[in-house]
Amino acid sequence: MTNVIRKITPAQSKALAWLTSNGGIGTFDQAGQRITANGITLNYNREVWVGLRDAGRIKFYNDGPSATPFGAVRLIDKEKAK
Backbone angles phi, psi at 31, to 5 degrees: -80, -10
Question: Phi then psi for 19, rounded to 5 degrees?
Answer: -65, -40
| pLDDT tens digits, 35-54 | 889 999 988 888 888 899 99
Query: Which segments of the chain are extended strands (E)?
Result: 25-28, 34-37, 40-43, 58-61, 72-75
CA-atom Rg of the chain in angstroms: 12
Each residue's pLDDT tens digit, 67-82: 555 688 899 875 444 4
The chain-wide mean pLDDT, for the chain, equals 80
Distance linking the first and last C-alpha atoms of the chain: 23
